[in-house]
Each structure stands twice: as structure tokens, then as C-alpha cells.
Structure 1
């Protein structure tokens, strides 16, 4: 047996007698791979099941014979698959063991329960793809005249078209048996014939053209449909599903068909176009992909073939606001005809070529499918029996939503199968109602534009959300704080460096500083720049400025000189209040007032308040935020804005006069104003740490304990810094988190360390905070709560229509806290601060935040990110256009895009000429940027590209850049295998990926790997080592270094 030719060849089909073995088709291979990756739940998801309810005297032996005859007749129903999924074996004989269940002795409820239990067990049954059988039949008897046949098959051997063939042949054969006749069956085509024809097609010029068609469709970008879900997508994704059925009004159904026929569009095309419009309205996305199954039997002239011959066509569409529905329908009719001409191309083949980035929480490219199964029972008859066909409810589903339209034109039923983890039945019901409303809209007036086709009026939902009206005093902030000083003169207002300053003393100093400023020429309405370290003197200056009726402009002394100079010039600040030391580094201002000099002469000024009545509408402070044009913009916030905020939060989250609050934020951050004014408004104590303490987690934690801090306002980054620095024990402190998203893991840690945890949200333009949420330990989704007193929230689409709960749109904010716009930017102000169309009050304004979010059914809002390219990094809101403009000002840089990845900024640039030393170039760029931008706006990573990727509209594809990772092969450094296991894995990967060498840190899917190659690799590993590694491990361990470790376990 030493001669290789004498050795027995490996036989993957050992077992029952095999009639033949054929290559699996591409679509079958993809299902096999999906089941291998997804495990048992994926296997359960790839099932087709239908129930035939019979009324009459069913002859059970005849039915059993008929079912066995169909199995004997069709190859696919006698099939199983090799362990590597590459071959399909056809058993010569396969006996179908029909499970018979007699429930005739039970009452109606007991019968219903028993039948449900059977269907539940059937849904959870796991087909053995290697050994078979892949068909399962149950025959349930309820009485002498009531029976049900439940037939379940794995999708890898059967498709929707095949179900119709099974039903047709079952009726013919059964009727012939009971009538003692020969069944008149159509001529049969073997599945192996179909499979061989597919193999030939794959080597044809027609296949090349078909492949080219689909690749061209997705050449420039691959959209990702983000359905609004009730829960975040888990990783890895789940398969357990629910189903809700809805019957469409027959008049509406016929009207939809008539609308389509008016332009020569089929019923399915019209329903699909309406579904795409519904998705456009639901998601706000105008680049959609919907999966539509397309049967291969009719095209190949094999109408009577049972097997898996379906391809899932990823149909891309671009519904735009201004196109009319009828024109959109005409466009889709042409596009769908074209797609049908190229339907012999599998979903998996496209994924292999596109190399779509894998996300374990999502099915790639096609999260939803739309299918039409009409006329399944046409021409079907069973001798002396009445029957009803029902698609058995699946308990597991591969797609996030699978919408199946079944029945007939005039009796259409929509079966919504959906992922139970992502959607509730109530959400699906609302989706169906919205889809029906879209259909009603389009039949009523097909000429209306897509932006005019809207869902139901959600005014009542938002009225409840925004029922926030509360009375607050018509006072300026200065007057409000003065009143508090009279109420609690002996309370400690400020603590700094072992010094305690009472409210009485603070008020005296503020009054004197106001008189000092007036003597220098400061008037109501002036803008006064302030740059000074955190100290009591800074507080005196701010309180003095606002007592004058002027507005303060906070300038961080760590900002680059160019940025400070721009803000000074843009604001036309009348004075600069600073220290002697800082004045040497700040831009020259002819009216510079030194706090050092002011404090030396302060005692010569009156201790009484200025006799100035400050209008609550006066601007209180001017705060510059990052600007998209490359220059920051100044947001104007009034006294009224801030006074409303203080009263809105007085009780919840709340503050007491015994509270001690640290003032840790830089003065140019809007939170700093709140840290100062909120305690002073209630008679509490403001604790001022030095600069070093505010930046050092260890020192800050020590201060929290030492100073007995009871309420702290900070960003997520600040709290993470504190935890990392050693904060582990519980403190009697109320934690307010703001400025950036609060992840659940961080929230859980903070809940262990404090008495209360609150999440607060609000753009600078609407006065620091506009909503809040008390976070509890059982939270599974961190929301920003609802609007605070006298504020309103709206989730709107691009046309400013209200969106329903769970639908993603832009967060628009109205109410008393909406600021006064941008200084000297009337056009931008008009774009962002718009009339509030939802308010009945004259002159009400709402602010378009640029944040995307959704309204939960609980009347809470979830913030999901940015609509535009503005981002938040470690609590700082950044307009990345400003960074891009700064990059473009650097000599040699041709184009620049900046993106936020998690909590860092990443710059992508192209250059005018070749860079010899990239590290040196990046160093120079960093230094240049540091002279123009603050530290939090400097990119952490730089990538030099040959060219920028573009979208279909020839715009820079920022999504593609987000997925960009440097190819390990292109680096000069190469890390080769270090262990025997890594050498084995590298050898196999290099062989099947056709690479000379692969760095052990290279990602399998980023160097050409895909699911089919992964299958081959796993099988090869098992043959070489005897170790069986699940296919899903390739996803979870996509580098040689990670994968090789599995061989040691």
C-alpha cells in the first residue's frame, strides 16, 4: 500500500448508498457556510416550513405514499452534503419517517396547545447537513375530518418556488392514489442537471458580463441600511425571530396594482417601490439595498424542478426627495428589468468580490428582504378535500426583517418575520401601519414627490414629550445671584488653596469689580474677553462683567495665539481682562485690563451693586465652538437662557446649599459656566482646584475625598480618568456625566462609586444642557432622557417632518434655552436657528443640533452621533472641517479628510509630491497644526494616501475611510511566524490566499479572505491536526497570531 495509487481515496460520502455526487451550487455553498458560521441557530433559520390544513375525510396512507413518491422523484429531497460543504450527495433511497400525532381525544384548547408544542419542537429541530435527511413531515389528526400536514425542509435543498411544486405534485399524486389512477406528472429535470449547467455558466462570457453588472453597481461604495431598532445590535448577531401577519385591504391592494399598471410596472415592482419609499422615510437614507429572492427555475426552463435554485438579488435604489413616486416607479421598473437579466449571480459571489468589512452584529449588505409568493395554491386540488395553505411561523430568521407577501392580488397578506432581539411586536405593527400609509399615499396621488409622502401625524406624541412649561423669574443672572447672597451671606461660596470666601464677601468683591470695569469704560452690551487661571479673582471678574450688563468671552490661556487672536478680532471684544504674565503671551489688545492691578486698587471702589438694570435678554457670554469653514463661530447665550437652565435643574437632578461642587473645566468649555453658576445660584460651595489637579486623575481623586465633594459635573473621559487613577470605593457624591456619550460599562462602574448617576445632554447653542436622565443599574440603553423645563425636543427628517418613535432623524431643540445665534454670522444663524413650526407661540425658534437620534416609546431620546461631519472627541465638540482647512493650509498637502474613530482623530491626506520620509513629514505637520489648533483638535494618526476613495456622487467616501487600515503587507516591517502553530496556519493561509507571505498580524478579511476560503482553511486545519475549529473562529480570530492560539486549546 506504499504506492499512492493503491491507497483508498478519501470518501466523504461513507454511509447510505449514494446514487450520485455533484458539486454544490454557489448559493448552496453560501448557506452551508452561513450555517457553519452561525451554528445551530443559523441552521434553524435556514428552514422552509408550510402547513396544509385539510377539511374532509383524509386518507392517511395515501398521503404518506404521495409524500414518499415526491421524495423518490426529486433528487434534492434525498440529498446531504460533504463535511466541507463542497459536494452534494444524492442518496439512492431515502425513507421519510412521517411523525403522526393523533389529538382527536383532546378538547380544543388541549389540541391547540399540543399543536403549538409540535410546531415549536419542529422549529427548534436541527437538520444534519452531512447525514440527512433534510426533510421532515408531521401529520396531525384533530378529528375524522380535520387534519394538518406540516412539511419542513432545509433551505439548502429547497426554495420558495419548490414549495409550489411540492404542493402541486402532492395534490396530483394523492388524488390519483385515492381515485386509483396513474398520476399525470410533468416531465422531470434532475437537480444535477441544473447544478452542471451552473458550473458551465460560471465559465461563460455571459457570467463575466453578469459579474461586471453587479460589481459596477457597488464599485464606488457599499451602503449599509441602518434600521431603527428597539435594542442595540448584539455581537455576534442573534437569529431568534417573531412573526406578525397583516392582511392588506383588498381595495388598496387592487389600487396599488392599478397604479403600477398605469406605467407598465408589475404588482411586485409597485409593492417593492412603495417599500423602498417606506424605508427611505423610516431611516432617512437615500441609498438603500433590499434583498429580493429570484427563482432560477423559470429562467432555465426547469419549471418543475425542486431544489435550491434561488439567488438573493441585492437591489440598490436611490429614492430622492424631489422625484415623484410615479417617476420613481418608472425608474425602478427599468432597473429591476435590468437586474432580472443578470440574476444568475449569487449574493455570496458579490460579497467575495466586494470584500465588504465584516461586522459580527450584522448580516453583510442585505439586512432586510422582500419576497412575493402569490398564487401558490392556484390549480392545486386534493380529491374530496378542502384545504388551506399556511406558511408555518419560523422561530429563527437569518435577516433582521423578512417581509413576505403571500395570498393573491385581492387577498394579500404581509408576513413580517423579524429578529426578536432587535424589534418588538409593537414596533413591527407600527412599521406595517406606516408601510400601508405609504401605499395609501401613492395610490391617492402618484405624482407627489417622495418628500411629500409621510407617515401619520405624530404631533400628539411630541406634545406629551414637550409638556415642560414651568414658571421661572424674569431676572438677569447677576440679580439672581445677588438675591442668593442676601439669603445666605455666611455660607461659603468659594474655596481655594485653604481660603474660604463667603457669599457676602464674594458679592462685595463682585460689586467692586463691576465699579472698576465701569470706570474703565465697560458698558452694557460690550463683549469682554477673559483669560485667567482658575481662582477667586477669575470669579470676581466674571461676576463683575455680567453685573455691568456686558458679556464675557472666555479664552483658554492654553489656546494657540492665532486662535485667540481670531476670536478677539471676530468678537470685537472691547476689553481683555487677564494677568500681567498672560498678557505677554496673548495677542495685543489696546484695552487690556490686568486683574493684578484691579485687585490692588479694588478697595477704592464702592461695595454696593451697580445701579444698572440688566435686561434678561442681554448676552451673558460668548462661547466659540469649532466651525465648518475652518474658523470657530461665537455662540451667544443670554441671561434668560442660563436662568431658565438653573431653575430647570434645581430639583432634578437637584442641588442643595450644603453641596460642594468642583470647578474643574477649562473656562472655554460651556460646562465651566454651569460649574460656577449652579452652586452660586443655590447657596452651595464652589471648590476651585489648581490647574495641575484639574488635569491629573490621581490629584483630582484625592481632592474629591479630601474636600468632601458631593456633586460633580464632568465628561465621560474625566470619570474614566478618575477610575483609572484609583477611584474604586463608593463616595457620597452625585455624578453628573455630560459632554460625550456615556457607555453602559462606564455607567455601571460609576454607579458603584456614587450615590446617583445622571446623564445630561445639550449643544452649546442651547445653553449647556437641555435634557437629563437619571441612570439606574438596570439600564440596557443609555438615553439622554427628555427635555428639561421650558425646552422641547423633536426628531425630524431632512424636510423637518416629525418622525415616529424608534426612527432615526436629526434632533431639533426648541424652548427658552435656545441661544441668540452666532455673532456676525447671519446666514449660518438662519440655517441653524429656524422658526419652530411646531410651536403656536409667535417668534419661537428651534435649533437644528446636527445630532442624530431617535425617540423611544418611553418618551426618552437617544443620541446616536452627528448628522454632518461635526464630532465629539473626549467631550470636545469639533468641526472637523476646521482641522481639514488647517491641514490644507500646510505646504505640500493636496487634500485632507479628518474622521473620528472611537475617541481619536485620524487624518487622511494626499500630497503634491512624493514623501521621502513619512515620519518626518508627519512631525512637521503636527507642529504646524499645533500653532493653529488647540491640543484636543490635533489628529492622533496620519495616513498618506495615493488618492481619496469616492462615492457614487464623486464625493469623498468617508465611510470607506473609516474602514481603512494600513495593509500589513505594504509595511517595511514584517512579522513572520514564531511558533509551530503559527507556521502551520501561515502556510495554509498563504496557500489559499495566494500570498507569498502574510504578516501574523494581518487581518484575514482585509487581505482577500472571505467565507468560502475560510471554510477550506478550517477543513485543512482539521485534516492536518485533527483539531476541529468552528468556522466562526475565523471571524473572532482573524489574524494568524490569534488563530494559531486556538490550536493550543
Structure 2
């Protein structure tokens, strides 16, 4: 038996775990526990002798740690006999194992391995083995298990075990590792891993049940699952790749499909025993490496498998370099919310198989202690009886039900990879038949009977006003009763009929905002036709383009619009046969009774032009049937009454205007048409809403934010409808403060105004509501299949609201309006919106933005390509790109141009470019600024790299340098920051990490702060308060000597000053690991 004590250097991994323990003594995250069933007659004395022999045989099992000059060192102590405590238990033995696994170790005193014996009956026992990860790893238990069986068999028979001694001990490896590092032996491998991972994304955000907390914990859960026998057999027999690479590649594909990430990292554990003499040595040799998978080229599974095989081969050849050093070299952005570089792990294990020794059946079980180190870890065990899996997960992110679903999808995907290896991975099935059907039906039970009517005007006849002489519409030009409105609309309809207008005829409307706007819309519908809104506020070139494309035979106008129509007709170079001035209409001979109903539900109701990616606006042809469906469904949803007054503030060129101009008529409510200047002025709008007694207001978030920021929303507005773009949580909360009812609506023009709508709840993300009447919404992947809950998919909309398509654009129509494979109506279609969303755990839909280059600005959907095309047409511009900056109501367009001649700058180019754009594009499509570049940034593949565009210096943004310190605490902190960061100037609002700080410099800064201010400041404080201004508040609150606390480290532990000195030498990744445990144990 060994009787000497040695003090030897620690390995890199030991140093990291030692530091974690110093900061959070008693953490169980790095405990490894096994429960070993012993079935049969047990010789307890022989078992004790066997354990004593094992501890004597492996120095790591009698190692603890001490501090030498602030660095951990291994202390290898003499062997001592193991005394095995015995506890009697029956069915509750699992609780005893849990208790043993959770009992803390003291790294300063040891021992760091603990044995216990649970007696279930005379011939049934459980041996508990709990070891600290700093002295052993998973491979080590395989060694211990084999040697336990061999040693027990010998000692129970009265013989000495005859195994040869290990060729080396773990401390020898630690010394070798330090020497290798000092000689630069790891440098080439570090260069390889840096080149492989430097530009890889460092966060993989899987769909979760809860938002990622600002600070992660290590509390975890586990879901076990079994592989079907046939699947397991086929995987083992696979000829293309090893079992490991096939399982890994399928897991990478699953992560890609669930996150949409085309580039991702998965951690993989490696044994770290590349030298043959380490194979039978107990110790902490294991290492973690990150394997990268790329999917940008839409590979098939055979391609992903080849990629995984190559990565695994490279990993095996370069596994000696500690992962801590790799992370340190990568220097990723730090966050308390997640681990650096990689958050998901995959492992393939071959667990020890049961053996029999001296009549004792020995069955090992790895025992989880309820903690996790990664967001998600998939472990597959290759057992003699088949494949088994288990997924451990962070409980603060995921519920077990989601993980169960994930396991089922993994098995479904694996089977598909065997059947269809040459299929692009984005097209492989991910869902079982039952889940697929559930996803298709969720929320889509929206059937609502509709009146049998041919046109929208006929629908209005089904909802006669209770008081015909009550005011139907009021505007700057006066009022019309319901009776008068009907008469005016009927006269307009007869007039149009006389000019040959009928079903599918587009009739231009270029009118001022007044009562005739409502009468003209209804009149066009009574004629069985559809209207083409021509907003007088649009540029002449835009109106000309619309007139040329739509070719309306008749345009209705008035004093406001007549000149605009004339200019647009002249610019278009085409002829509009008939232009009718409604303000000069002679009612003589025009009946006030409605003309005979003509038309059909599929006929044109309106033709509305939206932005086009090629620079040419596209006309969306919406049908009478679609409008009827919207009006009936919204009438039921909103519950308007004759007492309501609905403000009409939206241009008729924006489809949500139909809700304002027509829907109130079904309820006998009053429409209050406001002029454009009032609608754009917060003060004037507030006054008009209050003066006119408006009870219902619809607006884009930009309008609502304008109102709220000025004088607020008048209390009389009881129903507030937001549509046109995403409603933010903060704005929704402000709209709800006085108890008003707030609805959020969503829908593209191509599916008739609103496809979903619903009330805004008090908390959580603002969702899109549920599908509207007779509407179905599906979230689909690139292969047109439904995505699982929580996974991002493109919104596809089907049902009664789907428009006919784009006027005169059959190719574009076919691309976006696709056959509906899920519907039960012959000829049904789905509109592919290009919008992204995910289904929340409660079934609601959360909007996540655009899949293409369309954006929303002030509620208007804009194709950036249209602006870019207009830019390139401007004199002096050779090439151009447009992007957005900001979010929500603060979204702004920025143009980037390469000038056509050298020496041009933004100051000289922008005025003429802006003027040219203003003549061609609506005001909301004209960028706010122009940046002149020598060349547009491009990716490696030659595509424009929008992410590399510099942020503009906005004209309204004031200049100036960093904000100077404002008090003595900030002055001292600023001096420390300048010294640690090596910067001549820092501002009190500058982010430490944005200035180049990282975990290593953070530890140095905190050490200096503690010395300067004499306060106990935790390292995590800098992560929570990364600016001088924020940190100064914490320092000021805690200045002065820290109160004495209990000696948690023990007599062998370092002082706080020694500890911080050690932290100064840690790598970034070691400090990150330390922080992870701090967060988990202290709940910070």
C-alpha cells in the first residue's frame, strides 16, 4: 500500500474545476455518480478490500488539492483502507442514491471519491460510487468497473488480484500536459481550431417553452427513450459512416431543421487518451470539442454525413488541445445567459455491461444528479440489447413534453435518412402522421356561414340601417345619412353602368377625403365592378405606372384629384377614355334606386398596388367574395353598434381602409372621415377624435405611437385596432392602460386585409391572434411541410380571403399563390406570405419578421428591391443597395450608393438623388439618408453583404465624444477602465465588452475595483452592469469593508486576494465556466 504524499501540478481541466469550487464550494454540477446493483450473496469484507485495492492502485482516487502561489496543485495522499458504510433500505433506495450523489466534496481535504452500500435484502445490495470530476471521468468508471469485478473475484476467493500496475498515474499526465504547452506543442492544433471555428455562430437558440433567462442555471431534467429494434439494427448495419457519425449527422440535421440555422456547432466529448499508456488510468482526461455543420447549400443527408465524418476525423487527430484554450483563442462575446461557443452536446456511449464475479451479478447504472452543463445533451447508448437514448436539458428553458417530442422527431428523421439518403435534408420528414395532422388543424376551425351574395353591395343590402336618416358618413365636406349615401352610391353606379362598367372592370378613384370617397366605393361595387385607389398624394410617376398597368376605362375624381389625374395621364402616355368629376355630377336622370345586381363572388372588388421587387409595383386583385368574408367575420368580431363612430384616417391605397370606409355600414355606425393633414398631426388627430366622439380607431403602430407620445388616446376611443405592421409589447401596454379594448390584426393584401386578429393580452409577446373567419394559417418549412411548435416557419394563408393574384403577372401569381395540399376545396390555394412566425406553447402565433427583403415602414410593406431599382436609375449612381436600421416605429431606410464618377460624395449626390426618388416613389419609400461607398460589400460567394454595411451617421443624430465621468466614483472607475483596457478615453455609458473587454480583463478589473474601493464586488456584477455609470451605482452602494463571512474555503484555501490573483491568470473560458456554476448555485 502506498504511504507517501506527493504535491504535483494540476492539469488545465483540474485547475478550471478547482477555481469553480473555490467560488462556489459544495456545487454538485461536477459530481459523477454510479449506482451498482449487486445481486446475489455478497462478501462485504471482500468488497471493502477490493475498494481499498482500487484506491491504492489509482493515485487520482486519493488526490485532493491545495493552493501553491494561488495555483491549484494535486496532493496525492497515502492509501488508507476503505470503510464501507451500510444502510438498510427497501423500495426507497433511489432516494439514498440521490442523497449520496448530492453530498458535497471538499476539494481541499478530500477524499474526492465516496463509496456506500445500500442493503435492500440479504442478496440484493446497491454500491454507490460518487466521484468529483476533477479526479475522474466517464472512461474512468469503465476502468473501475472492470477492475472492481476482477478484484472482487480474486479477493472473495482468497487470492490477491494479479492485474499489472498502471504504467503511469494521472499526475504524470498533468506534468506532461504542462510541458507540452510550455513547448508550444498545442500551437498547431490551436491554429486549426481557430481557423475552423473563428467565424462560426456562437449561439444556437432552439425553440423553447420559456424565454432564455438573463442568467442561466444548471437545474436540469432528463427524458429517456428507446430506438425501435429495426431502426437500431439498420443504423448499426449502415455502410456509409460509423454509427457515431450517422447519429451525429442526423442530430445536426434535426438542430438545423428546428432552428433554421445554416451554420451550427455541436459539442462532442472525446476521451483525451491519445497515448496508449493512459488507457487504463483513472483521471480527468476527457476533453470537449466543437464540430461544425453547414447547410447553406441545401445538402442531402449523404453530404451531411460526409461532412460529419471529415469533422470527426479531424477532431480525433487534434483532441489533445484543451477546449478551454480553444475558447480563449476564439474570444467569443460573453453572456451570462448561455455558455460560450456551444450550447448543445452529442455523445455516443458504450456503457459497461453487467458481469458476474464470485457468484455476484454486478449491474452498473449511471446516476444523474439533476444538473446540466449544456442547454441540451443527446446521449445514445450502444447496449448489447439495442440502442437507447436520453436527452438532458435545462429546465429553465424546456418542459419535458417538448423534449419528448424532440426525441420522437429525431427517431423519425433517422429512419428517413436511411430510406432517402439522397434527399435534401430540408425535405426529409420530421413529424409523425399524428403530429402533422394536429399542426395542420390547430386554430384552423374557422368555418362561418356566409350570406349567399354576389357582390359586397349586395351584402350591404342584407344589413339595412335601423335608422335610415341617421348620419352614415361625416367628412370635411359635410354629412350623408344612410338614405342619402345609398342614393348617392346608386347614382354613381348607374353612371358607371352607362359607361360600360361591369364585373371585373377596374374603376380609378382619385378623390379627396370626404363623403364622396365612401359613396364612390359603394357605387363601384353596386355597378358590379372593382375600384383602383389612386391616392392624390402619390407621385405622378407612380400614378402613371398604375394607370398604365391597370388600364381603367373610367376614373372618378373631384377638385382634389383632377389635376393629379391629368398629370398622371400625360406622364403615362396612355389615354383614359372617361374621367368623371363627382363634384360636378349632374344627378338628373340618374336613378336613386340600385341597379340590377350583376357580378359574382370571384369578380374584382379592388385592385391595390403594392411595392414590387423588380421596381415595378404589382396590383393585387381582391375579389368580392374575399371582401364579403372579411366584412362578415370582422362584423362579428368587433361587435360595432349604431352608437359607434369609426374614424377613417387611412389612405384608400392601404387595404385596411376598407374596415374604416365600409364595415361600419353593416352595423349602422357612423363613419368620421378625417383629412390627411389631421391624420398625420398628433395634436390635430387627438382633437378631432375627441370633438367627433370617435369610439373606434384603427391605425398602424406608427400612428398609435404618435398619438400616445403626444397627448395620448382620447378615453372615448373604446376599441383600438392595430394593423399593418408588428405591434410591440410596450405600445400595446400603453394602449391598454385605460381599460380600452385593443385588437391586433395581421394579414397581407393578398389575403384580403386581415387574415388573423385577436385581443391583446396583458403579458407575453403580442401575438397575431387567431385565423379570421373561413381562413386557415399554416407555418411551413422550405419543403412545404408544417413545422413543429416553436419552430420558425413561413406563414401560408388559405381560405375565402385569398386574392385572385397579381394583375397581369401570371408568373408571379403562380410563384406566390400555390395549390393548397391541405385543404378540402377543389382548386383551393395557399398564399406564401414571406412572413415568418412560430407557434407559441399555447397555440398562438408570434410574428418574427420577413423571410425576404420586404420590410414594413410606418405600416407600408416595401420591397427594398424597388427602391434599389429606382436608385440605380438616378444620374450619377452606378450601383446601390438599401437596408433598414432600427426596429418598430423607429425603422428607417438607408441607401448606399457607388457613384458613377470619382470624387462624388454624399453631400453633392444626395440632394439630386433624393429629388429623383421623390418624383418616382411614395414619400415613405424615400430613404432617410445616403451613404457613398467605393464598392458595395460582398460575401465570399459574390452576393451583396447587407450585414457588412456601415451604420449611417443620421442627420438628426448629434455628434460628440464619450460622456465624461460625473462624480468621484465614476472618475476612479474610468481610470481603472482606461488602464485595464489600454484605452486613452472611455465614456461612462460605454459597454466594457464592446470596448474589447473579455472575461480575463474583467477579472483584472474587478480585482482592481475591490482593491481601490475596499468593497466585495462579485465578478458577475460586471456582466450585469457593464458600463461605468451602472457599475458606479453598485460600487457606491457597497463601498467600505466587506463584512466578515464564514470560512467557506477551509484552512487550505487561499485568501480573496490570492484567489483574485489566480483569476487574473485564468483563461476566458475558465472564468466563463466558473461563472456558469456561480449562476447555478447562487441563483444570480
TM-score w.r.t. length of structure 2 = 0.83
Distance 2:96 2:15 in 1: 34
Residue from 738, 754, 769 that aligns with 2:739? 754
Relative to structure 1, the CA distance from residue 688 to residue 780 in structure 2 (aligned partners, 3 Å threshold; closer, same or farther) is same
Distance 1:959 1:641 in 2: 39
Distance 1:95 1:674 in 2: 85
Q: Kindly provide the CA deviation profile for residues 740-799 of structure 1, in whole angstroms up to 9, marking residues without a partner as x.
A: 33344444444443353333221111111112334443x534432432222222222212
Distance 1:739 1:82 in 2: 64
The corresponding residue for 2:243 is 267
- Point out the more displaced range, 974-983 or 1031-1040: 974-983
Distance 2:916 2:106 in 1: 64
1:419 aligns with 2:388: no
Relative to structure 1, the CA distance from residue 944 to residue 236 in structure 2 (aligned partners, 3 Å threshold; closer, same or farther) is farther
**Do the aligned residues in 1 keep the contact of 2:248 with 2:308 (CA within 8 Å)?**
no
The corresponding residue for 1:11 is none
Q: Kindly provide the CA deviation profile for residues 587-609 of structure 1, in whole angstroms up to 9, marking residues without a partner as x.
A: 43264988876356346633222
1:433 aligns with 2:413: no
Residue from 268, 282, 286 that aligns with 1:292? 268
Relative to structure 1, the CA distance from residue 343 to residue 584 in structure 2 (aligned partners, 3 Å threshold; closer, same or farther) is farther
1:341 aligns with 2:327: no
1:880 aligns with 2:855: no
The corresponding residue for 2:1006 is 1018
The corresponding residue for 2:798 is 814
Structure 1 segment 922-933 matched on structure 2, within 5 A? 929-933=917-921
Distance 2:714 2:115 in 1: 61
The corresponding residue for 1:831 is 815
Structure 1 segment 34-183 matched on structure 2, within 5 A? 45-56=29-40, 73-75=58-60, 78-79=63-64, 87-93=71-77, 104=88, 108=91, 114-115=95-96, 118=99, 140-153=118-131, 155=133, 158-168=136-146, 171=149, 182=160
Structure 1 segment 997-1016 matched on structure 2, within 5 A? 997-998=985-986, 1000-1016=988-1004
Q: Kindly provide the CA deviation profile for residues 711-752 of structure 1, in whole angstroms up to 9, marking residues without a partner as x.
A: 333333433444434548976723333333334444444444
Relative to structure 1, the CA distance from residue 478 to residue 820 in structure 2 (aligned partners, 3 Å threshold; closer, same or farther) is same
Relative to structure 1, the CA distance from residue 470 to residue 1020 in structure 2 (aligned partners, 3 Å threshold; closer, same or farther) is same
5+ unaligned residues in a row in structure 2: which ranges?
Answer: 570-574, 1038-1084
Report deviation, 1:704.
Answer: 4.8
The corresponding residue for 2:446 is 468
Residue from 473, 483, 489 that aligns with 1:504? 483
Report deviation, 1:246.
Answer: 0.7
Q: SS at the partner of 2:586?
A: helix
The corresponding residue for 2:1081 is none
**Do the aligned residues in 2 keep the contact of 1:245 with 1:415 (CA within 8 Å)?**
yes
**Do the aligned residues in 2 keep the contact of 1:617 with 1:640 (CA within 8 Å)?**
yes
Residue from 835, 850, 869 that aligns with 1:851? 835
Residue from 568, 571, 575 that aligns with 1:588? 568
Residue from 275, 293, 305 that aligns with 1:329? 305
Distance 2:141 2:16 in 1: 21
Distance 2:120 2:934 in 1: 71
**Do the aligned residues in 1 keep the contact of 2:134 with 2:284 (CA within 8 Å)?**
yes
Q: SS at the partner of 2:1002?
A: helix
Report deviation, 1:53.
Answer: 3.2
The corresponding residue for 1:1030 is 1018
Q: Kindly provide the CA deviation profile for residues 12-50 of structure 1, in whole angstroms up to 9, marking residues without a partner as x.
A: xxxxx996474762x66777899999x899x65555443
Relative to structure 1, the CA distance from residue 328 to residue 686 in structure 2 (aligned partners, 3 Å threshold; closer, same or farther) is same
1:905 aligns with 2:892: yes
Q: How many residues align?
A: 1014
Relative to structure 1, the CA distance from residue 543 to residue 172 in structure 2 (aligned partners, 3 Å threshold; closer, same or farther) is same
**Do the aligned residues in 2 keep the contact of 1:514 with 1:544 (CA within 8 Å)?**
yes
Distance 2:105 2:950 in 1: 40
Q: Kindly provide the CA deviation profile for residues 536-593 of structure 1, in whole angstroms up to 9, marking residues without a partner as x.
A: 1221222223323332222444434443333333333444444435544564326498
The corresponding residue for 1:549 is 528
Report deviation, 1:258.
Answer: 0.8
Distance 2:147 2:439 in 1: 53
The corresponding residue for 1:665 is 650
Q: Kindly provide the CA deviation profile for residues 647-677 of structure 1, in whole angstroms up to 9, marking residues without a partner as x.
A: 2233234433443322222322221112222
Distance 1:887 1:36 in 2: 62
Q: Kindly provide the CA deviation profile for residues 876-895 of structure 1, in whole angstroms up to 9, marking residues without a partner as x.
A: 32222333434444535645
**Do the aligned residues in 2 keep the contact of 1:803 with 1:809 (CA within 8 Å)?**
yes
**Do the aligned residues in 2 keep the contact of 1:52 with 1:149 (CA within 8 Å)?**
yes
Report deviation, 1:385.
Answer: 3.6
Relative to structure 1, the CA distance from residue 479 to residue 382 in structure 2 (aligned partners, 3 Å threshold; closer, same or farther) is same
Distance 1:353 1:274 in 2: 29
Relative to structure 1, the CA distance from residue 395 to residue 611 in structure 2 (aligned partners, 3 Å threshold; closer, same or farther) is same
- Point out the more displaced range, 822-831 or 787-796: 787-796
Report deviation, 1:266.
Answer: 1.7
**Do the aligned residues in 2 keep the contact of 1:712 with 1:736 (CA within 8 Å)?**
yes
Relative to structure 1, the CA distance from residue 526 to residue 452 in structure 2 (aligned partners, 3 Å threshold; closer, same or farther) is closer
Distance 1:132 1:884 in 2: 69
Report deviation, 1:151.
Answer: 4.3
TM-score w.r.t. length of structure 1 = 0.85
1:631 aligns with 2:616: yes
Distance 2:111 2:949 in 1: 47
The corresponding residue for 1:791 is 775
**Do the aligned residues in 2 keep the contact of 1:636 with 1:822 (CA within 8 Å)?**
yes
Residue from 836, 839, 848 that aligns with 1:864? 848
1:390 aligns with 2:361: no
Q: Kindly provide the CA deviation profile for residues 789-815 of structure 1, in whole angstroms up to 9, marking residues without a partner as x.
A: 222222222121233333322121111
Q: SS at the partner of 2:246?
A: helix
Q: SS at the partner of 1:818?
A: coil
Q: Kindly provide the CA deviation profile for residues 630-651 of structure 1, in whole angstroms up to 9, marking residues without a partner as x.
A: 3332211111111011122332
**Do the aligned residues in 2 keep the contact of 1:103 with 1:111 (CA within 8 Å)?**
no
**Do the aligned residues in 2 keep the contact of 1:728 with 1:753 (CA within 8 Å)?**
no
**Do the aligned residues in 2 keep the contact of 1:355 with 1:1005 (CA within 8 Å)?**
no
Report deviation, 1:268.
Answer: 0.9
Relative to structure 1, the CA distance from residue 235 to residue 444 in structure 2 (aligned partners, 3 Å threshold; closer, same or farther) is same
The corresponding residue for 1:209 is 188
Relative to structure 1, the CA distance from residue 619 to residue 959 in structure 2 (aligned partners, 3 Å threshold; closer, same or farther) is same
Report deviation, 1:1038.
Answer: 3.0
Distance 1:222 1:954 in 2: 21
5+ unaligned residues in a row in structure 1: which ranges?
Answer: 1-16
Q: SS at the partner of 1:493?
A: strand
Distance 1:99 1:999 in 2: 62
The corresponding residue for 1:530 is 509
The root-mean-square deviation of aligned C-alpha atoms, in Å, is 4.2
Report deviation, 1:467.
Answer: 3.5
The corresponding residue for 2:429 is 454
The corresponding residue for 1:739 is 724
**Do the aligned residues in 2 keep the contact of 1:18 with 1:89 (CA within 8 Å)?**
no
Distance 2:682 2:84 in 1: 70
**Do the aligned residues in 1 keep the contact of 2:200 with 2:265 (CA within 8 Å)?**
no
Report deviation, 1:930.
Answer: 4.5
Relative to structure 1, the CA distance from residue 372 to residue 530 in structure 2 (aligned partners, 3 Å threshold; closer, same or farther) is same
**Do the aligned residues in 2 keep the contact of 1:220 with 1:950 (CA within 8 Å)?**
no
The corresponding residue for 1:317 is 293
Report deviation, 1:920.
Answer: 7.1
The corresponding residue for 1:3 is none
